[in-house]
A and B are shown apart, each in its own frame.
Chain A
Amino acid sequence: MRIGRIGYLIKEGLKGVFLHGFRSFASVTVIAACLIIMGSFALVGVNVDSIIKDMESESQILAFVDESLTQDDARLMEGAIRSMGNVRDVKFITREEAMERFKETHKDNVYSDLEASVLRNRYVVYLNDITRMEETKTALESVPGVAEVSAEVGIAKGFITVRNVISVITAILIVILLVVSLFMMSNTIRLATFTRREEIAIMKMVGAGNGFIRFPFIVEGLVLGLLGSGIGFLLEWAIYNFISGRIMDSMAGNLFSILPFSTIMTPMLLVYLAVGVLVGTFGGAMAIRNYLKV
């Protein structure tokens, strides 16, 4: 296709955007609204995921050392534990340090005379992947010198379930909203093609190829899609900053932290533009399809 011809077709597509102002406004609004809803769910999902990851990183396994081993012997076990798979970090805690922490947590006089010898030396083991907590616990139990292993496998499973459920819900909602956007976009452009069906029939009759007829509608869809995604992104940004500011100022801000928008801005913008381009071009192509069969 020659440059001049492409220029003409792009001009025709842009003309379609401005010629049908109200319809274009409706399309842009629908795309922006769908993207804001979709983006909001995604942002909630990303934040929940980040909060859970923070919590996960605090997840630990306690490996108690056999009482028959001296402290020096117990320290020698660190290499074996560290070389195990799925171990991010290992910290050796002597029974004295453990007692000190215990007393700090339980500031009751009842425990003030308690001696460190009642506790055991131990390793705090931090994991790379908490989904493998049970397997790591079993592996730790088989390390020579380990008397007992304590791991909150139930809590870890809870975190994993919550994360999976949120991921699935977010994914389903995103797909549904994507389909809704595509449908709305396609219908809006189908309205445009309906009003221009005579023109399309004339084009076909004088020998226009399908590409020539389709191209302006795709350009129109693309422009509307990009406008909708751009506006949706800016509004999402404003809404996110407003809501995250409110949360951080409230009591909830002490319990967990919300990701700043700047950390997710680039992937978010790219996804928005990609969705805008996809919805616009596919919507435009789908809408015109039936009229090209003549």
Chain B
Amino acid sequence: MVILNDVKMHYPGSKVDVLQDIDLTIEDGEFLFLVGPSGSGKSTIIKLLTGEVRASGGKIKVNGFDLRTIKRRNLHKLRRTLGVIFQDFRLIEDMTVYENVAFAMRVIGAPGRQIKKRVPEVLELVGLSDCADRLPRELSGGEQQRVAIARALVNSPGLIIADEPTGNLDPAKSLEIMLLLKTINDMGTTVLVVTHEKELVNEFKKRVVSLSNGRLIRDGTGGGYY
């Protein structure tokens, strides 16, 4: 569950308020689009949710962690409850698909037996069982993003945050990725997708939160509008 209560944000040394009075609650199991033009504050919200930056004011709770009080050395505990997907995939180039996904488990100290069992399951879910031994550069953009989704999913996080996951993909591949995220959501994982692709958002009848100039200007549930 994510709770943002009266959140304000300005970066140190800057007088510009990147976010102002943001109130937002995301319930467990929800699928939510966060939309808005460039500079509206979408990326800052992601940085706040992952603990990369701290809010200047207000309260933020993510999966039970209070981000106002969490110590830097404990941020990894929060991040283990999250799966983050980026526009540029951020895969490790000299690791195979299998190793990239297994790496996320290894990092949190999962035992080898568990890794061997879980990674093939997740690769099958994202449709990449046949690509396990290939390097990222041998895959298409859509396939690379599937690897990133598998990596985000492998530790069974409570919340998946996808930051412009289709930004580098053609419309057909974008739809495939969104359908995959919806499947993951149907299995019970909360999914937050940050995007500015209007057509894609309208394709799904999901909750859409719109930002503009750092303010939350619209929060529509069940509607496919932008």
Contacts and interface: CB of A to CB of B under 8 A. Distances in A.
B217 interface: no
B92 A198 contact: yes
A293 B52 CA distance: 9
B127 interface: no
A47 interface: no
Contact of B109 (A2, A198, A203, A204): A2
Contacts of B76: 204, 207-210
B106 interface: yes
Interface of A: 1-2, 4-5, 8, 198-199, 201-210, 212, 293-294
10 contacts: A201-B90, A203-B107, A205-B50, A205-B90, A206-B103, A207-B107, A207-B108, A208-B108, A210-B76, A212-B107
A15 to B, nearest CB: 11
Nearest to A196: B92
Nearest to A212: B107
Contacts of A1: 109
B8 interface: no
Interface of B: 50, 52, 72-73, 76-77, 79-80, 82, 84, 90, 92, 103-104, 106-109, 111-112, 151, 155
Contacts, number: 50
B135 to A, nearest CB: 15
A14 to B, nearest CB: 16
B109 A206 contact: no
A198 B93 CA distance: 10
Contacts of A8: 106
Contact of B151 (A5, A204, A206, A294): A206
Contacts of B90: 198, 201-202, 205
Most A CB contacts (10 A, CB to CB) among B76, B79, B92, B155 go to B76
B79 A207 contact: yes
Contacts of A204: 76, 79
A293 B50 CA distance: 13
Contacts of A208: 76, 107-108
Q: Which 9 A-B pairs have the closest CB atoms?
A: A207-B80, A207-B79, A208-B107, A206-B104, A209-B76, A207-B76, A207-B108, A205-B84, A206-B107
Contacts of A4: 111-112
Contact of A202 (B72, B92, B111, B155): B92
A1 B109 CA distance: 8
Given A4-B112, A8-B106, A199-B92, A207 B155 contact: yes
Nearest to B53: A294
Nearest to A206: B104
B19 to A, nearest CB: 20
A4 B115 CA distance: 13
B79 A5 contact: no
A210 B92 contact: no
Contacts of B52: 294
Contacts of A206: 79-80, 84, 103-104, 107-108, 151, 155
Nearest to A210: B73
